[in-house]
Amino acid sequence: MKTKSIIMDETAIERSLKRIAHEIIEQNRGLENLYLVGIRSRGVPMAERIAEHLKSIENIEVPIGILDITLYRDDLSTIAHQPVIKGSKMDFDINKSNVILIDDVLYTGRTVRAAIDAVLDFGRPNKIQLCVLIDRGHRELPIKANYVGKNVPTSTEEIIKVCFEQTDGEESVKIVLRDED
Amino acid sequence: MKNKHNFIGRNLYDLDDYSADEIIAILEATSVMKEINERDYKKLPTLRGKTVCTLFMENSTRTRMSFELAVNRLSADLVSFQASISALSKGESLQDTICTLNAMGIDLYIIRHRFPGSPQLVHKYSEKPVMNAGDGRHAHPTQALLDIFSIWERLGTLKDLKITIVGDIAHSRVVRSNLIGMKKLGANVTVCGPKTLVPGFLPEIYGCKVEHDLETALKDADVIMGLRMQLERQNEGLLPSLDEYTKQYVLSKRTIQFAKKDALIMHPGPMNRGIEIMPEIADSQQSLVLAQVANGVAVRMALLFLFLGGK
């Protein structure tokens, strides 16, 4: 895959996550009864990073859950390679809570649809919100993020690659071109 | 992440068709399913639109219920075929039965039958994936997988574990599948029982050890598995008497002391309490008997997902 351009570096990502943390506090009037739920795989380190910022701003530890949406996908019977399931981890009662779903890229919205269904199987939160680092457009479902790091207009030929230190050994957001084959 | 193993469209006749890595992949998927089974709301939408048929031509309660629960929890549709009340009892052949079911749009078959090789036959007639839920004395791979998962979950690995299986080895399909799977994962398996119930050729085929003395067999064992004495075999002259068997081979407080302290105790069920296993052992802290039953549902969910959750 060929890199077309680098749209965010380490500093830019850090600033965005910090701003998002402030927005979360502002819009929810604090952090009471709030849980961050990262969607595997890059939503998980992103949730951890936001939690660190929330801690340094408000001095409150927000619990983090992990969501594996594979078993909720709507395209299982059409994809060529079966994904590995790694499981979800929600060590808290989400009934009547305020859940913020966290993912790196918002694209068609299908992952988020699956994630909402997956969350609802754990209980009935009062509210579910969505936080993404990149919104690249091309929605196929009526879904909108509450917190966005950066809006990036893209063509469907392009791929947005988000790298976090924890998962990829570097911090960057790149636009790469799909291999022609 | 993409699964490097491909299970779609395959059959589960026995574990010899699966590599150690593939077995581990099944165990890992089972862990995920186990978490689902521990939720208040135990249901996934994963296999909506798929239809699974269970064909039980031989009595079974736990295996059939376990499979059917797994099918339901993954939201596939279930048709349950019962030999005694079906057209088979009117003389319809298995071939016609399968072709008829196939015309109704079945995506996967689960079969138990007293004839070894029946699952292959179902696949031949249906051309759909088939899971073996026990065929004669031949194989019972999902039971072996749930046994292996129960050990793996507790001890993290099977490598270099000493596992001793005690009882009627000769007539047990559970043992055969377990011997294949446990060996692939690096365990050292010893089978133990009276000479009439332990075929001498087993070491050559399965690489296990054979012992006829319980104390020797249990020495340093990490895992002890008792098997059901098949009471209906009493008339075949293989045992002087059940009492005789119990005296020499029962798993009791006294006999399990030969094994490692805290050795895991397993039994595929149904148990004859007081014959092959004493209640104080079956119900002890070390016993995995009920965990095995719970894990059975999770293993079958994992297999159904792996076999049907893809193109």
Give pLDDT, residue B239.
83
Which residues from chain A sit within 8 angstroms of residue B2, using beta carbons? Answer: 81-84
Q: Are residues B162 and B256 in the same domain?
A: yes
pLDDT at A90 over 80: yes
Residues B282 and B146 placed together within one structural domain of the fold: yes
Q: A85 CB near a chain B CB, below 8 Å?
A: yes
- The pLDDT, as a whole number, for residue A128 is 98
pLDDT in tens, B214-244: 999 999 999 999 999 988 777 788 888 889 9
Q: Which fold has domain A2-73+86-177?
A: Rossmann fold (3.40.50)
From B311, which residue of chain A is nearest by alpha-carbon distance? A77
What's the whole-number average pLDDT of chain B? 93
Position B90 scores a pLDDT of 63
Chain B closest-CA separation from residue A82 CA (Å) = 6
So what's the ipTM on this one?
Answer: 0.88
Whether residue B128 is predicted with pLDDT greater than 70 in this model: the reply is yes
Give the closest-approach CA distance of B24 to chain A in angstroms. Answer: 12
Residue B54 lies in a domain: yes
| B77 domain-assigned | yes
What integer pLDDT is reported at residue B2 of this predicted model? 66
- The residue segments making up the domain with residue B46 are 15-139+296-308
Interface of A with B in 31-50 (CB under 8 A): 41
Considering its fold, how many domains does chain B have in total? 2
Same domain for B107 and B62, yes or no, is: yes
**Mean per-residue pLDDT, B52-57:** 95
- B93 and B160 in a single domain? The answer is no
Query: Is residue B87's pLDDT more than 70?
Result: no
Using one digit for the tens of pLDDT, what is the confidence trace for A27-45?
A: 999 999 999 999 999 999 9
Q: Are residues B38 and B63 in the same domain?
A: yes
Evaluate if residue A181 carries a pLDDT over 70. no
pLDDT score of B59: 83
**B29 near A CB under 8 A:** yes
B44 close contact with A: CB closer than 8 A? yes
Q: Which of A69, A75, A77, A122 to mutate to test the interface with B (most CBs of B within 10 A)?
A: A77
Looking at the predicted structure, is the pLDDT value of residue B89 above 70?
A: no
More confident site: B239 or A52:
A52
B220 domain residue, yes or no:
yes
Q: What is the pLDDT of residues A113-126, one digit of tens each?
A: 999 999 999 999 99
pLDDT 10s digits, B266-288: 999 899 999 999 999 999 999 99
pLDDT at A180 over 80: no
B81 and B199 co-located in one domain: no
Output the DSSP codes for chain B: -B-SS--TT--BS-GGGS-HHHHHHHHHHHHHHHHHHTSSS----TTTT-EEEEEE-S--SHHHHHHHHHHHHTT-EEEEEEGGGSGGGGT--HHHHHHHHHHTT-SEEEEEESSTTHHHHHHHHH-S-EEEEEETTTB-HHHHHHHHHHHHHHHS--TT-EEEEES--TT-HHHHHHHHHHHHTT-EEEEES-GGGS-TTHHHHH--EEES-HHHHHTT-SEEEE----GGGGGGTS-S-HHHHHHHH-B-TTGGGGS-TT-EEE--S---BTTTB-HHHHTSTTB-HHHHHHHHHHHHHHHHHHHHS--
Has residue B9 been placed in a domain? no
Domain membership of residue B1 (yes or no) is no
Q: In this structure, is residue B6 part of a structural domain?
A: no
What pLDDT shows up at residue B60?
Answer: 86
B1·A83 Cβ contact <8 A:
yes
Q: Which residue has the higher pLDDT, A131 or A76?
A: A131
One domain, residues B214 and B284: yes
Report if residue B249 sits inside a domain: yes
Q: Break chain A into its structural domains and give their ranges.
A: 2-73+86-177
- Reference B281, options B268, B294, B291, B266; nearest CA is B266
Query: What residues of A are in contact with residue B306 (Cβ under 8 Å)?
Result: 82
Verify that B167 and B92 share a domain, yes or no. no
Cβ contact (<8 Å) for B45 and A72? yes
Whether B75 has its CB under 8 Å from any CB of chain A: the answer is: no
The stretch B71-75 carries a mean pLDDT of 98
Q: What confidence score (pLDDT) does residue B86 get? A: 64
Select the residue of A68, A83, A122 nearest B2 (Cβ to Cβ).
A83
A121 touches chain B (CB under 8 A): yes
Q: What is the pLDDT of residue B241?
A: 85
Distance (Å) of CA B16 to CA B30, B43, B100, B179: 19, 31, 30, 10
The answer on B216 and B247 residing in a single domain is yes
Q: Check whether residue B151 and residue B282 sit in a common domain.
A: yes
- Taking only residues 272 to 311 of chain B, the set having a beta carbon closer than 8 angstroms to any beta carbon of chain A reads 305-306, 309-311
- Does residue B76 belong to any structural domain of this protein? yes
pLDDT exceeds 60 at position B293: yes
Hey, is the C-beta of A117 within 8 angstroms of any chain B C-beta? yes
CATH number of the CATH domain containing B201: 3.40.50.1370
pLDDT tens digits, A144-168: 999 999 999 999 999 999 999 999 9
Question: Shortest CB distance from B45 goes to which of A81, A117, A122?
Answer: A117
DSSP string across B96-164: HHHHHHHHTT-SEEEEEESSTTHHHHHHHHH-S-EEEEEETTTB-HHHHHHHHHHHHHHHS--TT-EEE
Question: What local confidence, expressed as pLDDT, does residue B310 receive?
Answer: 81
CB-based contact, B21 to chain A, within 8 Å: no
Q: CB B309 to CB A82 under 8 A?
A: yes
